[in-house]
């Protein structure tokens, strides 16, 4: 998957979790949690959805890598290379 494709997948998953999330004004370098008012339960859903779709395991210790949109993409690029 390309960087843009991964970005779109993450945005699609977030939209699916909260269909009123304001994704148009999202700053990719700022924490998703603060901008979209997400909590730990919502983050678990992002992780579970990635696991369901692409069979990738994200250990809890790696959750901080999912803090911003950019850090999510950087973390997932090597893991979704073949997807």
Partner 1 sequence: MAAGIRFARFGQKVLILEKHSKAGGLNSYYYRKGRLLETGLHAITNYAPPENKHAPLNRLLRQLKIPRRNLKLRQQLTSEVVFPERASLTFSNDFGLLQSQVALHFPDSIGQFNAMKDELDRYDPFSPRPKISARKFVSSFLSDKLLREMLFCPIMFYGSSDEGDMDLSQFVILFRSIFQEGLFRPEGTIKDLLGLLLQQYKDFAGEIEFSSGVEEIISTDNKITGVRTRKGEKIRCDCLISTAGLPETKRLFAAADSAAKFSELPEDNTCGRISFVESIFLLEKSASKCFSQGRTIIFYNLNEKFTYRRPDKAIDLNSGVICFPDNFVGGQEDNTIQIRVTHLANYDLWLQAYNDTDKSRYQTMKIYWTGRSKNIIGKIIGNCFENIVYEDTFTPVTIERYTSRLQGAVYGSPNKVKDGKTGFDNLYIVGTDQGYLGIVGSLLSGVTMVNQHILNRI
What residues line the site for partner 1 (CB under 8 A)? 17-19, 37, 39, 41-42, 44-45, 48-49, 51-52, 60
Closer CB to partner 1, residue 31 or residue 77?
31
Cβ atoms 80, 73 nearer than 8 A: no
Cβ atoms 43, 66 nearer than 8 A: yes
Closer CB to partner 1, residue 19 or residue 24?
19
Cβ atoms 69, 26 nearer than 8 A: yes
Closer CB to partner 1, residue 4 or residue 20?
20
Min dist CB 16 to partner 1, Å, is 8
Query: Is residue 40 within a helix (H) or strand (E), and if so which, with residue range?
Result: helix 40-54
């Amino acid at each position: 998957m390309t960087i843009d494709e991964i970005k779109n997948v993450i945005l699609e998953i977030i939209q699916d979790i909260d269909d009123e999330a304001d994704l148009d004004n999202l700053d990719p370098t700022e924490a998703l949690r603060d901008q979209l008012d997400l909590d730990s339960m919502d983050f678990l859903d992002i992780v579970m959805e990635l696991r369901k779709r692409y069979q990738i395991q994200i250990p809890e210790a790696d959750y901080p890598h999912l803090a911003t949109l950019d850090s999510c993409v950087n973390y997932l690029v090597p893991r979704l290379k073949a997807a």
